[in-house]
Structure 1
Amino acid sequence: MGIEERDRDGNIAALKAVAEQFAVSVTPHLQALIDPADPADPIARQFLPDAAELETHPHELSDPIGDAPHSPLPGIVHRYPDRVLLKLVNVCPVYCRFCFRREMVGPGSKGLSAGQLDAAIDYIRANPGIWEVILTGGDPLIVSPRRMADVVARLNTIPHLGIIRIHSRVPVVDPARITPGLVAALKGGKPVWLLLHANHAAEFAAPEARAAIARLVDAGIPVLGQSVLLKGVNDSPEALTALFRAMVVNRVKPHYLHHGDLARGTSHFRVSLDEGQRLVAGLRGRVSGLAQPTYILDLPGGHGKVPVGPVYAQAEDDGSWRIVDPWGCTHRYEDPAAG
Structure 2
Amino acid sequence: MFKFEILRKDNQSKARLGRIETAHGVINTPVFMPVGTQATVKTLAPEELYEMGVEIILSNTYHLYLRPGDDLVEEAGGLHRFMNWKRNILTDSGGFQVFSLSKLRKISDEGVYFNSHIDGSTHFLTPERVMEIEQHLGADIAMCFDECAPYPCTFAEAEKAVARTTMWAKRCKAVHSREDQVLFGIIQGSVYPELRHRSACELLELDFPGYAIGGVSVGEPKQEMYEVLAQTSPLLPEEKPRYLMGVGEPEDLIEGVRQGIDMFDCVVPTRLARHGTAYTRNGKITVRNAVFARDFTPLDPDCDCAVCRSYSRAYIRHLIKAEEILALRLLSYHNVYFLVKLMENIRDAVRQGEFLRFSHNFFGHYSVK
Task: Give TM-score scaled by structure 1 length.
Answer: 0.42
Quick check: which one's helix share is greater?
A: 2
